[in-house]
Amino acid sequence: MSDPNCIFCKIASKQIPAFIVYEDEQVVAFKDISPQVPVHVLIVPRLHLAGLDALTEAHRELVGHIALVAQQLAKELGVTTRGYRLVANCGPDAGQTVFHLHFHLLGGAPMAGKMV
Ligand code: AMP
Ligand code: ZN
């Protein structure tokens, strides 16, 4: 299920271009268009879900899969030793701007301060 007005659904279905670094049946990972650190990749499910709040028990395996894809990509992109972050913004206080569930994989430089 995809949303015809959703930019990440369009990237996942290759209707609009992105620098895809990984894809499988469940997820697509591509470079963020406005990188905040040298390695800034977005991992998104092919399924359109508006965000973390849209997850249900049915998505338990999907979220675990995304975490393992993030771990694998961190290795491939060379940020495992120095470290990385996996971040999902949900809702206005968190600054979510695209309402298709996505996880930011961030690394390659020290990140300013600890978020938590
Ligand atoms: P968030 O603020 O957590 O919703 O993150 C949305 C992210 O999507 C931002 O970091 C944007 O730079 C990124 N973004 C928006 N449009 C595109 C696009 N067409 N290709 C790649 N990244 C995008
Ligand atoms: Zn979508």
Among residues of the chain, what percentage have pLDDT more than 70? Answer: 100
The predicted-structure confidence for 13-50, as pLDDT tens digits, reads as follows: 999 999 999 999 999 999 999 999 999 999 999 999 99
Question: Is 90 exceeded by the pLDDT of residue 114?
Answer: no
From 41, 97, 101, 105, give the residue whose CB has the most ligand 1 atoms within 8 Å, as the site to mutate. 97
DSSP string spanning 59-98? GHHHHHHHHHHHHHHHHHTT-TTT-EEEE---SGGGT--S
* Residue 1 exposed, middle or buried by CB count within 10 Å (0-12, 13-18, 19+): exposed
Tell me which residue of 46, 42, 44 sits closest to 2, measured CA to CA.
Answer: 46
d(CA 3, CA 75): 32
d(CA 6, CA 4): 6
| pTM for the full predicted model | 0.97
- pLDDT of amino acid 112: 79
